[in-house]
A and B are shown apart, each in its own frame.
Chain A
């Protein structure tokens, strides 16, 4: 599996005394409260496995206490995992010596933090250059690089400010610039925008999407905000009590939640904005005309509305040049209504419609 940017196999992190003895023992099956009562240990990450493809934006989503921040710290051993394997770019992270680990952190993986973690006694420029400075890059070179990165994140002219003179959004741009300055293969984001106002948050999310387009780094993004996860993530892992409940594209999570927990999570998501025509298309009735507009199967339902408005005929849903089904105005209206009504009835109805399709 050398092709994955990050590969995690059976990762465990248990806090507490003699934590390493728990993995593999029957205690590992206990739930958190029982485990704490019996051993005094807390399992923050339980037997987590996933892969991140190069250039992918992989989102780990969960409520606070679900272990997602611990998980992301285990990737570069900011928190030492208790068990399992982590490979970055095919190299085993857990077997690295302190020096190798430092090299990994200096050159290949960098991180953006929720509370920014900027150095208050340094100018913005020196904050951004910090990673290069500890690598031993000469002052002129690191300042040049830092200036370039600052203009990439839209902070030209603020080089000589101190962090506390900037707004929260701008401070996080500095944090982002600091992470980008060392030109890493992988960027880790630990709830980077949770501390920001909603409007600023939206700007910053757009900024991440833009940066991803421009620099194409592999990104692991931790968040507790579902809409953020859906907006940014190519794939999303949902965490609960230290375990990953489901990994999938936004469409898979919304369309086919693995269990009630995930279903509850995605309940209020407007389905028509996430699901594609594939999820609601059906076999044409015998007498239905098949000369309507043609749309690819991965078109989001919401985006199909203009086509349906332009033509009364059912939309032909195509994948790889073959007809997979049709969608008419009633189907579309039903999907949009379901998405907005919310609740279990809708979920059941949607499940029914996908079953129909199958």
Chain B
């Protein structure tokens, strides 16, 4: 085992004997693992203990913080001011948006839409925001909007300067990049507990949690945009005697602006996908109703606020996306139109009353629930069969396997597997993560989460690869698939839980289905892009040598797209983990549930905090295994989700 990857990596010729050895090594290791499992089964299994000493220690730490919150200088002069400032910002947005009244806010949205992309976007904005009122979600939507805007504003204020610095200085980039990597593989649940510890529950900590999730795309895309500014233009500016600041202000920033606008778009999308999660830490808004309804498996009541978030997402996405596509339009026409729409909206507020009129609202909860119960009643044969097959055929055996194997054996197996795929360094990091998880007293729950992730990820990667290969090989299939994938990527991530719950009720399988819907589009797209990136001349050469389509795929396209395929697998797994954790909201249990319980119940705080850390470790482990020897290739592709 020790010699295998080194030999495989080195191009020097080895003797035939050694080659034979290398070829049989993976199989030998697999056999060894099986033998060890049979021999050591049910030893060193680390069963779950709700009352582990680590959890109690963390609870004590929490108690200490609670006692000293208003006396310790760290809190008194730093954290508490931060909390108050962020809360103030949220209140400011909330007051301003509420003050506009619904006609005023719709008018502002229409004006921004007009400014960004003409009348089409203005109509989308009006329809989207009016839809919020019609669904009876106006007040909650305003809260969600205020929270999202505060978090996005903070993300941009902090993220864009960091991005500019990272784009200009390789040494800053070297520091920032790995931090962002970890931030992006951290499941969102994992930082709720520490944030609550520092900032208590409420809008302030919700804004900060949202910001942590939303800031990486702002930084990454800004850095990329600044880096990509044509060096010729920069040189031309310098040759005319521009100072650094002049070149930055007049050349780099304007030329990077369109790309940065895309970064804003991604930042908003990320912020909106946090809406239901921050409801767990007492953020007002659409998430509150959604979480409550999910807990009661009331699909209709959950779907309505879900649709609300999607509407906000669509409006903000269209506005920022069309702002990112530059086109020459008369400034006077743009700003006049903007002013007219905004003034019209604001002027209508006193006429139409600031609250959305009740007679215009419609109730769709009951019809939805009727449909859901019809589905439950009529499709149960099918959904129940699927559910049971996966549960008894895949989940339970795998979970039994992982929880009955000694922890050291699993760690060694992961080490070997990661070593084979991504090299020794990655293998050691992955194994190290598992050791730390064992030390966190959360081994069993982590294995349960891992079980769901592995099953979901395998299905996701297979389905995504099949779709991606299909799209790369058939033009019409790609034409059908593209818009579907585009639409899927605009949606906030949790919205995929809702159809899954409607079909399959609560449980692990629902989390698997949701992560499928969430991650398959990204995997499919990465696979398709990778296959399409294979140069046409190579394909032509292979065809002219008489390859069949199948040979072309297996001998040319797939090997040449190896790094894209690895990236696709990596993204698929990281996204699956994120979704499976959120799946705790619909009964997927395990680590995700520990985090939720930790926030809502005093005595479980320590366990929740540890579970958050375990999730980060699990994320790093899964990421390293699939990172590939060449490391991450394209930072752009990283954040498609």
Q: Which residues of A contact B (CB under 8 A)?
A: 76, 78, 101-107, 110-111, 113-122, 130-131, 133-135, 162, 175, 178, 182, 188
Contacts of B246 in A (CB 8 A): 134
Q: Which residues of B contact A (CB under 8 A)?
A: 230, 232-233, 235-243, 246, 250-251, 254-255, 257, 326, 328
How far in angstroms is the closest Cβ of chain B from A6?
15
A110 adjacent to B328 (CB under 8 Å): no
A102 adjacent to B233 (CB under 8 Å): no
Bound state CA distance, A178 and B241, in angstroms? 13
Question: CB within 8 A of A119: which of B239, B254, B257, B326?
Answer: B254
- Given the known inter-chain contacts A119-B255, A121-B326, please indicate yes or no for A131 contacting B241, CB distance below 8 A: yes
B254 adjacent to A105 (CB under 8 Å): no
Contacts of A121 in B (CB 8 A): 254-255, 257, 326
Bound state CA distance, A78 and B553, in angstroms? 49
B328 adjacent to A113 (CB under 8 Å): no
A104 adjacent to B239 (CB under 8 Å): no
Task: Give the 10 A-B residue pairs with the shortest CB-CB distance, closest first.
Answer: A117-B236, A106-B241, A105-B241, A131-B240, A117-B232, A111-B239, A102-B241, A134-B242, A115-B232, A117-B233
- Given the known inter-chain contacts A119-B251, A119-B255, please indicate yes or no for A113 contacting B241, CB distance below 8 A: no
Bound state CA distance, A133 and B246, in angstroms? 10
Residue of B nearest to A133 (CB): B250
Contacts of B236 in A (CB 8 A): 111, 113, 116-118, 175, 178
How far in angstroms is the closest Cβ of chain B from A78?
6
Bound state CA distance, A111 and B326, in angstroms? 29
Q: List 22 A-B contacts (CB under 8 A).
A: A103-B241, A105-B240, A110-B239, A110-B240, A113-B236, A114-B232, A115-B232, A117-B233, A119-B233, A119-B255, A120-B255, A121-B255, A122-B254, A130-B237, A131-B240, A133-B250, A134-B240, A134-B243, A134-B246, A178-B236, A178-B240, A188-B239
B251 adjacent to A113 (CB under 8 Å): no
Bound state CA distance, A336 and B342, in angstroms? 79
Contacts of B250 in A (CB 8 A): 119, 130, 133-134
A113 adjacent to B240 (CB under 8 Å): no
B240 adjacent to A106 (CB under 8 Å): yes
How far in angstroms is the closest Cβ of chain B from A34?
27
Contacts of A114 in B (CB 8 A): 232
Bound state CA distance, A134 and B247, in angstroms? 9
A117 adjacent to B230 (CB under 8 Å): yes
A134 adjacent to B241 (CB under 8 Å): yes
Bound state CA distance, A228 and B79, in angstroms? 68
How far in angstroms is the closest Cβ of chain A from B368?
48
Told that A121-B254, A134-B237 touch, could you supply 4 new A-B pairs with CB distance under 8 A? Answer: A78-B239, A111-B239, A117-B236, A178-B236
B238 adjacent to A162 (CB under 8 Å): no
How far in angstroms is the closest Cβ of chain A from B259?
12
Bound state CA distance, A175 and B246, in angstroms? 19
Residue of A nearest to B238 (CB): A78
A135 adjacent to B232 (CB under 8 Å): no
Bound state CA distance, A208 and B255, in angstroms? 30
Contacts of B240 in A (CB 8 A): 105-106, 110-111, 130-131, 134, 178, 182
How far in angstroms is the closest Cβ of chain B from A345?
42
How far in angstroms is the closest Cβ of chain A from B228?
13
B238 adjacent to A105 (CB under 8 Å): yes
Bound state CA distance, A4 and B511, in angstroms? 78
How far in angstroms is the closest Cβ of chain A from B76?
45
Contacts of A119 in B (CB 8 A): 233, 250-251, 254-255
How far in angstroms is the closest Cβ of chain B from A81?
16
B255 adjacent to A105 (CB under 8 Å): no
How far in angstroms is the closest Cβ of chain B from A186?
12
Contacts of B255 in A (CB 8 A): 119-121
How far in angstroms is the closest Cβ of chain A from B421?
34
